[in-house]
């Protein structure tokens, strides 16, 4: 593959994300990433001394987005949930390829010590969305947000605008008490 730009580090992140989504994180070797970029493995190691350092750099923006979303949701009254759910869908869509790779190898998040943080933030958002901690209520939030995440993973090749409204509408319905 011809080099796309002079920013080798950015190219490594882009190709790694594509391969991780297609094959899984554990199933993708640094050699494969280097070969796809037509660089030596030593050049790749110059930029990322280990696979875990590469993965950590790929995960960092997603975790920052999740933390920012969490802060936004927990610091203000939810009000109209449609825009909030839309923002969550957008967040998931931005990171859909990484979500695909992580779903194949969820243990990677544990190894990077971010899984507990992500799950904790998500549980707090769940509580805010449904106004409590009762399991029957939290289920509604889990279904709503989990459904939005699943949409971007399972429909990764579809343009977001082709299903955005339907996804947000469905998440809103899931949040309504029975």
60-100 pLDDT, tens per residue?
A: 999 899 999 999 888 877 778 999 999 999 999 999 999 89
Residue 124 half-sphere exposure toward CB, CA atoms < 13 A? 16
Looking at the chain, the whole-number percentage of residues with pLDDT higher than 90 is 64
Q: Where are the domains of the chain?
A: 59-175
Contact 88, 81 (CB under 8 A): no
Q: Mention every residue, 6+ apart, whose C-beta is less than 8 A from residue 175.
A: 81, 129, 130, 140, 141, 144
31 confidence band (pLDDT: 50, 70, 90): very high
Contact 2, 80 (CB under 8 A): no
1 confidence band (pLDDT: 50, 70, 90): very low
pLDDT tens by residue, 39-56:
999 999 999 999 999 999
Triad 84, 131, 133: Cα angle to 5°? 120
pTM above 0.85, yes or no: yes
pLDDT tens by residue, 109-141:
778 777 788 888 888 898 888 888 899 889 999
Residue 5 pLDDT exceeds 60: no
Task: Name the phi and psi angles at 113, rounded to 5.
Answer: 60, 40
CA 104 to mean position of chain CA atoms: 13
């Amino acid at each position: 593959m011809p080099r796309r730009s002079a920013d080798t580090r950015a190219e490594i992140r882009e190709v790694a994300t594509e391969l991780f989504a297609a094959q899984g994180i554990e199933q993708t070797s640094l050699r494969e990433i280097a070969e796809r970029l037509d660089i030596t493995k030593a050049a790749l190691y110059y930029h990322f001394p280990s696979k875990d350092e590469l993965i950590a750099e790929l995960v960092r923006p997603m975790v920052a987005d999740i933390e920012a979303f969490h802060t936004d949701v927990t610091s203000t009254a939810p009000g109209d949930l449609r825009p909030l759910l839309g923002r969550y869908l957008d967040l998931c869509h931005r990171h859909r390829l990484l979500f695909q790779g992580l779903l194949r190898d969820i243990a990677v998040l544990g190894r990077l010590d971010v899984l507990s943080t992500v799950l904790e933030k998500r549980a707090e958002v769940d509580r805010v969305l449904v106004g409590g901690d009762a399991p029957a209520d939290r289920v509604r939030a889990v279904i709503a947000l989990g459904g939005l995440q699943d949409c971007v993973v399972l429909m990764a090749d579809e343009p977001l605008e082709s299903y955005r409204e339907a996804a947000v509408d469905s998440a809103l319905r899931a949040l309504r008490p029975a």
